[in-house]
Amino acid sequence: MPLFTAGLQFANVDPELAINHCAYLHRGNHILVSTGDVGQRAESKHEMTHEANPYRAYDKKYKWMDDRFILIALESLPTLRKQDIAILPYQTQPVKEQFVERDILLSFMGNMTQLHLPPEHIRGGRLLEFKSRFESDKIIIGSPYDVRKKLGELSYHDLMARSVFTLCPAGYGRWSFRFVEALLNGSIPILLSDEYVLPFSNRIDWNKYCYVAEERHLFGLTDFIHRLH
């Protein structure tokens, strides 16, 4: 029985009653549970209580989520079980090959803050501080409005195609679509997302293709950026 938990979670509905009425739970991994964000195997440090954000879907993990279930997740976390399936996030729109000068050293275009994330989170306020410290003609950080005001009309992918490096910080979840999109645009991702298990690490030496840093080391990128300059 496939069960799409993301829709239920964003409605803050626990399907426990329906699960408990299934007559064949004892047969093992015959129920396929799919999820659209952080899997419910374990609570993340970025999960928020219902009191902090009553609209947040992923408040607490489901008590019934055990090894009878297979979890399909868009994130690869160390808390996933052996039977679970992690899917690499994909580009959200076609990425065309562009032959343009990479005249930007580092960029990020997107929401600088996310509602309800604490100030110590990258997207809760630290990215704004990063922008104030490092933004220049070669380092472009800001909302789509801010970036277009500075560079003129260009798309999210246009900016990546012009950037040597693309900053890929965590948001509500542990993963970022920017990681894949940056690679497809020929830009080197700077991944700032704790706990994420890089896909196919037994076959891919990610140190050759991206720069990975812990979230708490956001401002430790200072030396790295100065060396690039």
Q: DSSP letter string over 12-78?
A: T--THHHHHT-TTGGG-TTEEEE-SSS-TTS--TT---TTT-TT-S-SS--TT-STTEEEEESS--T
pLDDT value of position 140: 95
Is pLDDT of 86 > 70? yes
- Between CA 147 and CA 61 the distance in angstroms is 38
What pLDDT does residue 188 have?
Answer: 94
- Indicate the DSSP class of residue 106: E
Partners of 104 in the beta sheet? Answer: 163
Q: Which of 101, 1, 106, 118 minimizes the C-alpha distance to 53?
A: 118
Using a pLDDT cut of 90, give the percent of the chain over it.
Answer: 31
> In terms of pLDDT, which residue wins out, 136 or 56?
136
Query: Which domains, ranges and CATH numbers included, belong to the chain?
Result: 1-87 (no CATH), 104-228 (3.40.50)
Q: Which residue has the higher pLDDT, 161 or 89?
A: 161
Tell me which range, 30-34, 69-73, 150-154, 191-195, is most confidently predicted by mean pLDDT: 150-154
Give the bridge partners for 69, in sequence order.
31
The span from the CA of 14 to the CA of 18, in Å, is 9
pTM comes to 0.82
Which of the two residues, 225 and 187, has the higher pLDDT score?
A: 187
58 has a pLDDT exceeding 70: no
Which amino acid, residue 46? Answer: H
